[in-house]
Amino acid sequence: MGYSHYWYRSRSVPEPPDAYARFAMGAKRIIEQAQSSGIALAGWDGGEQQPRPEMTEGYIRLNGCGDEAHETFTWCAEIPPVDESWSNDPDEDFDFCKTAMKPYDAVVCALLILAKSVYGPGVRISSDGEWNGWEWLGARILYTDAMNEEPVYPFGQPVR
């Protein structure tokens, strides 16, 4: 399938009322920090028609830019309705982003750290990469620089 990150949003755990607003504010900081450190970001299409990451009241979408683009990362303000054509789990919404380890991978991972921090038990994160390996190191640094705090392990029980 390729190097990917996965997330699940619970339909049964209530989301904090201000969760998306807090997520969007943090995402803006992460995106600005990434761009100032030289990571080129674009909208869903890698910059052909949408040259900048998209931040609206309904969603945040981004990709790498040009040859550094792969798949679009999207985080919606609301959990999408169950799509029975490909999902049979009414309790969780599932999504993923294949980054192929391109530079914007650090941004996607930092946003997932942020999502876990903001949404708490209503979000599960998994990844083809290792938290204590080099795969998540850039995201951890990016998150720390943007948010002025150490990231919390997002995959369930902390690594000891």
Mean pLDDT score of the chain:
92
pLDDT surpassing 90 at residue 117: yes
The model's pTM is 0.94
User: At CA 157, angle to CA 106 and CA 144, rounded to 5?
Assistant: 35
Tokens 């391109």 correspond to what residue?
102
pLDDT in tens, 98-115: 999 999 999 999 999 999
User: Could you tell me which residue, 160 or 84, shows the higher pLDDT?
Assistant: 84
Contact 129, 135 (CB under 8 A): yes
Q: Which two tokens stand for residue 126?
A: 């998994």
Distance CA(61)–CA(42), nearest Å, equals: 9
Helix (H) / strand (E) element for 145: namely helix 137-147
Q: Which two tokens stand for residue 156?
A: 């369930």
